[in-house]
Chain A
């Protein structure tokens, strides 16, 4: 894809694009590298990807193949060197469109991190509440329902350091779902969980995907986990290898 001069100057480039209404997420010619000169490491090499609304997609691949980098670019937390991401009809190119990216993070994207990334000074419940407050919403009743659905309402008064790994991940999922995002992106969500907790979390994801028709994109190393998805993509050397 040709990069526009405006895009090269790092100027905001967002445009409404004509996309298939069933496509919620589209990545076109995504390129990303780290380092400079001889040490430059091309992590993503012109990757293309499309995710349908309501789909549960799993992305697998060996370590270092660029899965997490791709997920962060799809989730607008990082920017590609080249290429563009179209999310729910709006296109983000390599540009510093920070306010728009933040708006999408607030409204349309829920992110589940491998390391949970809960705020340590807040209780589990307050972590979920905080994510709503960032979005200008105060709805404690809804937070309680969500925590009950995740099975952590009884322990949500504890701080992350006082919760088990499985409980922390469930709180993190509740936080990602609290604002009812269009798409949930999960970066190896079972990577730090034991088998029981991992299975329970995947079952939860499956439920959320089916009952709420929530689009899910999950990075995983686990074949078992990937089996829960509607579609599985395999990555190698910064490109989608097989589907």
Chain B
């Protein structure tokens, strides 16, 4: 019966509001922090799973790492995959990854051969502009410069000016829409990063593997010590009807490298970040405990203040269970209001994060809202038990007659 609890809440509006707000803030923390941690993490995993490849070849021992970058694998493996395993491999695309700071945040840049764009991005169409090095002129120029043996084995020097000519412009980028929005970048803009000036030539809808793409040869040359024969990983597209599991095993044995499906990256992410997620969960639990100690204190004060009211109920013959229900009812109403306030606040916080830090992905899940509501209900019950018990111990004679 919410009759008396509601009346009491209405009578003590400010205190009830503060109490519900206290619960609401902890619920908001639970929903928003969890949503932010898991949302940002899994958005990364979602992007990796968006690639059009069935398998990824990593250097031996790299597969369980989450930030693979730099030189690790010879590009020859891509050729071996195509030529020696052509029965099961349809395409093999070397990829060179390296971090680059844009808009105040480190992003993984993927160096991609333009002809492998579909495989790397899962056939994503550009929203604006064009792909870098569309006719492969830059790649051919680089290969000509660096892979053609010279008579005297002289070191080949390539300056920034060489990289950036109208004939073979290698300093071109394709970025995703979220980065474009966050950094205020648009088609044709010049961006200073990694000691070079880059031109934005294309914008791809968000959701592709990384936020920044550049020509494979540029990435290899600039970030791989000038060696354009090495890559970070190779994406493999299997022929139709080939089982991924057995194919991965075959390639693993043949190449003696790590071969994993893209979805394994999600598992690796979860494992690597499990401590962080546990930390977030612990912070949330502590916030909830503090909130419900606050509720307990409020209810306990309420019980002390309402000794006469409880004694009056007793004088009408109210049982201990009836008294307990009044206290419990009030706690549940406050917790319910707290859940509503908290979930409302978490939408606000999420929108605010989206505005202030557009590259973070707070993902508010119904699942966590339910958990938050359940935690609030349990917290309300636990925190009201002692005050309720104290309420049932009030001696009506002492209060009504002698006080």
**B-contacting residues of A (Cβ < 8 Å)?**
68-69, 72, 77-79, 99, 102-107, 109, 111, 113, 117-122, 126, 129-131, 133-135, 175
Nearest Cβ on chain A to B302's Cβ, whole angstroms = 11
Q: Is B160 an interface residue (CB 8 A)?
A: no
Give the chain A neighbours of B8 by CB distance below 8 A: 121
**A117 nearest CB neighbor, chain B only:** B312
Nearest Cβ on chain A to B44's Cβ, whole angstroms = 53
**B323 nearest CB neighbor, chain A only:** A134
CA of A134 to CA of B1, assembled, Å: 10
Known: A121-B8, A126-B7. A131 touches B397 (CB 8 A): no
Return the contact of B319 from the options A79, A102, A119 (Cβ within 8 A).
A102
Known: A72-B397, A77-B397, A134-B322. A104 touches B317 (CB 8 A): yes
Known: A77-B396, A122-B7. A134 touches B316 (CB 8 A): yes
**A176 nearest CB neighbor, chain B only:** B316
CA of A75 to CA of B322, assembled, Å: 20
**A187 nearest CB neighbor, chain B only:** B401
Q: Is B10 an interface residue (CB 8 A)?
A: yes
> Using an 8 Å CB-CB cutoff, how does the interface string of B319-335 with A read, 1 for contact, 0 for none?
10010000000000000
Nearest Cβ on chain B to A71's Cβ, whole angstroms = 9
Nearest Cβ on chain B to A100's Cβ, whole angstroms = 11
CA of A94 to CA of B322, assembled, Å: 25
**A-contacting residues of B (Cβ < 8 Å)?**
1, 3-4, 7-8, 10-11, 308-309, 311-319, 322, 396-397, 400-401
Give the chain B neighbours of A79 by CB distance below 8 A: 397
Give the chain B neighbours of A126 by CB distance below 8 A: 3, 7
Give the chain B neighbours of A118 by CB distance below 8 A: 312
Return the contact of A78 from the options B1, B3, B397 (Cβ within 8 A).
B397
Give the chain B neighbours of A131 by CB distance below 8 A: 316
Task: State whether B317 touches A117 (Cβ < 8 A).
Answer: no
Q: Which of A68, A105, A107 has the most CB of B within 10 A?
A: A105
Task: State whether B322 touches A113 (Cβ < 8 A).
Answer: no
Return the contact of A117 from the options B4, B319, B400 (Cβ within 8 A).
B400
Return the contact of A77 from the options B7, B10, B401 (Cβ within 8 A).
B401
Q: Which of B7, B314, B317, B318 has the most CB of A within 10 A?
A: B317
Return the contact of A102 from the options B7, B308, B317 (Cβ within 8 A).
B317
Q: Is the interface of B mostly helix, strand, loop or mixed?
A: helix
A sample of 11 inter-chain contacts (CB < 8 A) reads A69-B401, A72-B397, A105-B316, A106-B316, A106-B318, A109-B317, A113-B400, A117-B308, A119-B309, A121-B4, A121-B8
Known: A77-B400, A117-B308, A121-B10. A133 touches B1 (CB 8 A): yes
Give the chain B neighbours of A135 by CB distance below 8 A: 316-317
Nearest Cβ on chain B to A169's Cβ, whole angstroms = 15
Task: State whether A78 touches B309 (Cβ < 8 A).
Answer: no
Known: A78-B397, A78-B401, A121-B10. A111 touches B4 (CB 8 A): no
Task: State whether A117 touches B315 (Cβ < 8 A).
Answer: yes
Nearest Cβ on chain B to A82's Cβ, whole angstroms = 17
CA of A129 to CA of B318, assembled, Å: 13
Give the chain B neighbours of A102 by CB distance below 8 A: 314, 317-319
CA of A102 to CA of B313, assembled, Å: 10
Nearest Cβ on chain A to B289's Cβ, whole angstroms = 30
CA of A134 to CA of B10, assembled, Å: 21
Return the contact of A106 from the options B11, B308, B317, B401 (Cβ within 8 A).
B317
Task: State whether B4 touches A119 (Cβ < 8 A).
Answer: yes
Nearest Cβ on chain B to A230's Cβ, whole angstroms = 26
**A178 nearest CB neighbor, chain B only:** B316
CA of A191 to CA of B10, assembled, Å: 32
Nearest Cβ on chain A to B172's Cβ, whole angstroms = 72
Task: State whether A68 touches B308 (Cβ < 8 A).
Answer: no
CA of A68 to CA of B400, assembled, Å: 11
Nearest Cβ on chain A to B301's Cβ, whole angstroms = 15
CA of A133 to CA of B317, assembled, Å: 11
Task: State whether B397 touches A107 (Cβ < 8 A).
Answer: no
Task: State whether A121 touches B401 (Cβ < 8 A).
Answer: no
Give the chain A neighbours of B396 by CB distance below 8 A: 77
**B11 nearest CB neighbor, chain A only:** A121
Task: State whether A111 touches B7 (Cβ < 8 A).
Answer: no
Nearest Cβ on chain B to A78's Cβ, whole angstroms = 4
CA of A175 to CA of B316, assembled, Å: 9
CA of A113 to CA of B312, assembled, Å: 10
